[in-house]
Homo-oligomer: A and B are copies of this chain.
Amino acid sequence: MYQEESPCHYRRALEVVSSKWTVLVFYELEQETLRYSNLLQRIEGITKKMLTQTLRQLERDGLVHRHEYETVPPAVDYSLTSLGLTLIEPMRVLHRWTDAHYDSVLESRRKFDSAQEHQNNPKKN
């Protein structure tokens, strides 16, 4: 069983995937190779700094391939590596869970928060 193995290992691995922008970059690259500026446009709210940082991380982890064309001005495009492709299915599973259960999470939060309210303002009951 998975319980017997190092949970730290597991946790560190999750970090590969769970940073704020990683999922969104992955999301775009899953469909097609894209250039830096394409990614910048498509991923709403991301800054150059964060995009670069995220791509570097993914490249370092071997999940994304960076291809630089020797042109002026420079052009660079990014695509998933074969290792990156293996992550798509696990991410889909998580995505499916999201679709199926995220409403329940939101619902639970509402209940929890209003319960907290009643704790703090038990006046009008």
Task: Name the distance in Å between A122's Cβ and chain B's nearest Cβ.
Answer: 18
Task: Name the distance in Å between A80's Cβ and chain B's nearest Cβ.
Answer: 13
Given contacts A89-B93, A90-B93, A104-B83, A98 and B13 within 8 Å (CB-CB): yes
A34 at the interface (CB under 8 A from B): no
A61 at the interface (CB under 8 A from B): yes
Number of this chain's copies in the assembly equals 2
Please tell me if the beta carbons of B109 and A10 are within 8 angstroms of each other in the complex.
no
A94 at the interface (CB under 8 A from B): yes
Name the one of B10, B96, B98 contacting A98, with C-beta atoms under 8 angstroms. B10
Q: Within 8 Å CB of A113, what residues of B? A: 60
Q: Which of A23-31, A47-55, A69-77 contacts B (4 or more CB under 8 A)?
A: A23-31
Name the one of B7, B61, B98, B101 contacting A23, with C-beta atoms under 8 angstroms. B7
Please tell me if the beta carbons of B7 and A24 are within 8 angstroms of each other in the complex.
yes
Task: Name the distance in Å between A119's Cβ and chain B's nearest Cβ.
Answer: 13
A3 at the interface (CB under 8 A from B): yes
Please tell me if the beta carbons of A9 and B83 are within 8 angstroms of each other in the complex.
no
Interface pairs A-B: 3 shortest CB-CB: A62-B108, A18-B18, A13-B98
* 5 A-B contacts (beta carbon < 8 Å): A7-B24, A11-B23, A14-B23, A83-B108, A93-B93
